[in-house]
A = this chain, B = another copy of it.
Amino acid sequence: MKTMGLSRLLLVNPKHFPDDQALARAAGAESLLVTAEVCTSVDAALADCVFACAISARQRNLGPPPLPARLAAAEILARADEGEVALLFGNETAGLSNAEVQRCQRTVFIPANPEYTSLNLAAAVQLLCYELRLAAFDGHPPVLSKTVPFASPPASHQDVQRFFEHLERVMVSSGFLDPRRPRRLLPKLRRLFGRAELECDEINILRGLLDAVERQVAGKRRMASGTSDTVDNSGS
């Protein structure tokens, strides 16, 4: 409940309450247990509600209309404008009785694998609370860090173009690209780096690498043209 921003918990005839084991397992969400209200009947728990949903995998013969979890979350939120609303869960072993389900306005089910529908109580509660949170924020609840930290800002179009020009120069000078027979090499590399959405730092790293390659290529050329040139360079 707390992970999804819910805070009001009502317990109907709990076997043990307060319970040390429950508190220990709450792991940071103790506030919910401490403020939980204990009721002596489902009717007492739902007394102030204008809209209650029974969570049940089974449709009951004279039960309220069924609704899958996602649609139910939207309806619950809409009805919350009118007054208190509730999700009613049965206990782990017995679930809800027909009489309890019939006290609600909807039967809410989680669309599970028809061959194995058995979600445990904690899983069902988590899913419903999650759907409520997403519905409450129209699919986009606030997150801890709203903007994703780019390792560095995205590169500008101009920076990317300069990188491609640099890359092409090196491809040609290294003999990898024959300008008379380009074989679509450049468009393919443009596609790759375009998809990657390069950042400034990455452009710097790539151009640094291209610079280093260019120096090597130039050095080799000088070596090939005469040794004195190379000796001068290394000594300077």
- A residues adjacent to B (C-beta < 8 A): 2-5, 27-29, 57, 59, 61-62, 65-66, 68, 70, 109-114, 116-119, 122-123, 126-127, 130, 133-134, 137, 139-145, 148-149, 151
| Chain B residues, Cβ within 8 Å of A119 | 3, 126
State whether A29 and B144 are in contact (beta carbons under 8 Å apart), knowing that A130-B127, A151-B61 are contacts in the complex.
no
Does A114 lie within 8 Å of B142, measured CB to CB? yes
State whether A5 and B148 are in contact (beta carbons under 8 Å apart), knowing that A118-B27, A119-B126, A126-B123 are contacts in the complex.
no
State whether A70 and B139 are in contact (beta carbons under 8 Å apart), knowing that A65-B148, A117-B144 are contacts in the complex.
yes
Chain B nearest CB: distance from A214 CB in Å?
Answer: 27
Return the contact of A130 from the options B28, B110, B114 (Cβ within 8 A): B110
Across the A-B interface, give the 5 residue pairs with the lowest CB-CB distance, nearest first: A111-B141, A5-B113, A3-B112, A123-B126, A2-B116
